[in-house]
Structure 1
Amino acid sequence: MRRTYMDANATTPMLPEVFEAMRPYFLEQFGNASSIHQQGQAARAAVDHARESVARLLGCRSSEIVFTSGGTESDNLALFGTLSAGDHLVTSTIEHHAVLHAAEALEKRGVAVTYLPCTASGIIEPSTLEAALRPETKLVSIMLANNETGTIQPIAELARITKAHAKSTLFHTDAVQGAGKLPIDLAPSGALHDVDLLSIAGHKMYAPQGTGVLFVRRSVRLSPLFHGGTHERQRRAGTENLPGIVALGRAAELARGWLLDDGPAELTALRDRLEQGILRAVPESGVNGQGTDRTANTSNLYFDHVEAEALVIALDLKGLSVSGGSACQSGATEPSHVLTAMGLSPARARASVRFSLSRLSTAEDVDFALSLVPEAVARLRTLSPTWAASRILTTV
């Protein structure tokens, strides 16, 4: 059976070039980067090269790159590393749970938290942030691109407002779904020069799972989550994941080349072809977040009178892998917190499916999806009492 993967926002396949870059560091070049002998120094050189590669992708200094185990750790390090009792955190209702659950834990430690609402399109309006800032606001954390809808936030403007409020107020963005898909320039003269902290995850950009980065601007004082050695300039103790770091560095190089080579435009065309084909073929369907800037690969579609979980399973049995929302919430009984925050009814939120393409997706993959989705939706609707009721009403 043919299998087509359209769940890249959950994780991406590792690119062959990335695997080949990391392979020697499992066997032949296995040194500890903290050792002073030749094997250790070779490992240190590999880590330094990867750090420089990630820094070039983000437009920052290599000394501002902290390697972590992934996006969740990076988000937690950004929040727990800068906030303490009496501080005020501003975040949004549509953040990934790596931020939301961290915020809830911080509230129990005496940190005040304000959760900003979004518009029906999933945007955090700058005026909403401006109204929420307080004298004691220490950190603002707003994601760059949403993992469920792909909606891109006006991060440069939100960070500018934060710094206009107080230079000492820090701005963090969870860029897990943006890095490698969108241009990011954290340089002092770059578009995101007001961003102090930024999180990325390797497995969202064709590197292995269990790898990540937190960008920490050199002026920021960060308290570590882990205590032990002096690794990562005393910001993240623990022996470096040498193969994973090498892989992430290579993935950053490939992502930078893809961005410069007009890759996003080509992927957007594929995504739009998928969306338009589905909307033409399936009545009572639509795009969540339509009309806003979205990442090139992401389409979140609702199919009224269908349970997303049933549709995901039906498509999987036919060879198409998609998602009902965030992979971290798979199996959750509650509707998506992102979609309900955008104003969708619980029924429509439960009827929403995420299609997320990868850089390896092809026109043939899109055609395959278009051959399956309309039929699967139609079949499931025949089993839906709400669909039957709606047909009666339209014929009366």
Structure 2
Amino acid sequence: MINIIVVNHVAEQGGAENVLLTTLKHIDKHKFKVTAVLFQEGILAEEIRSIGIEVVTLAAGRIRNVLHYVRTVLQIVREIKRARADIVIGWSPKPFIYAGAAAWLMRKPVLWWQHGYPSPASRFDRLVSRLPAKAILCPSDSVAQAQNDLGARLKARVNYPGIETELFAYSALDREQIREKYQIPAAAKIITFIGRLQRWKRPDDVIEAFSRLQDEQYYLLVVGGALFGEERDYIQELTGLAERLGCADHVVFAGHQTEIAKYLSASDIVINASSKEPFGLVVVEAMANGRIVIAVNSGGPAEIIDHNWNGLLYDGSREGLYQCLLQAVKNDTDTQSIGRRALKTAGESFSAGQMVSRFEGYLTDLYNEAQSIAR
């Protein structure tokens, strides 16, 4: 049995946390015993406990407060001892700052997950990249390249996130129920944006492109909210934009939803407009539902989608998005074929089983290397 401690700092579920939860749900519990150390109670802690994994919560202080930082590190050291951990994992840069120090004190191998793009202008990102670790895992080649460009002490590796594809299978019943809920005609075409309502995800671009369709048969679903309390007034800007563009009657703001699959089934086209998307879980989720996905030709989506084969890519401009949207709504035969190929891609390349198998391989290699050194 290989004992693992994974450290994370947030209580809500974002992209990185969804990857963590899926990983913990599917990891081989006959081979790996996992203890999760979180800095907050909340939904994530409840979800992890529900799959039979122990959760320990610590009241971590600010990194800038030396006394609080040292206290938190020592608390993690205590948990490493108690769990007899063989490997320590920091599930993003901030928890790695704590977990890495604790692992170093205990002489345990440590790896960390870099879910987003590090910035060369960030002193914090440069510092984290130079801390000793056995591995840095990233969700895409583009994130790994950005991480490597910071001059890290070791090269980042890629472990593409996977999803439980069966949870996102198309449901005609869900399609009917969601359309009834929002009083959208059964024959209408629904274009959907799913994601936290943050400026960098550019839902405003989606609304602008949608407004240019000028056709009563099209509706736009905006599914998402300010999950971490960020940009709480942004929703007001977006609703105002829809009103100014004259499409408010056909734009539905559904708010934050936990059952995304239902909204995917209700949709015909799903748009990911992020200009710098590290991976794009919703892209794969929509593909697993057989939807037509439109995304920017950069970052994670460019590594998932083969343009005109299993999805549509555009150059990141509003005009490019509009032209892709026109192609998707006007060419039913071609886009239906794209949807079928998207479904196949999701199952063959981005399943939870594949992601976890690679992750288990990394952990096993680290464990065997540590045992070899110890001998």
TM-score (norm 2): 0.31
Question: Which structure would you say has the larger RCO, counting Cα contacts within 8 Å and 6 or more residues apart?
Answer: 1
Higher share in helix = 2
TM-score (norm 1): 0.30
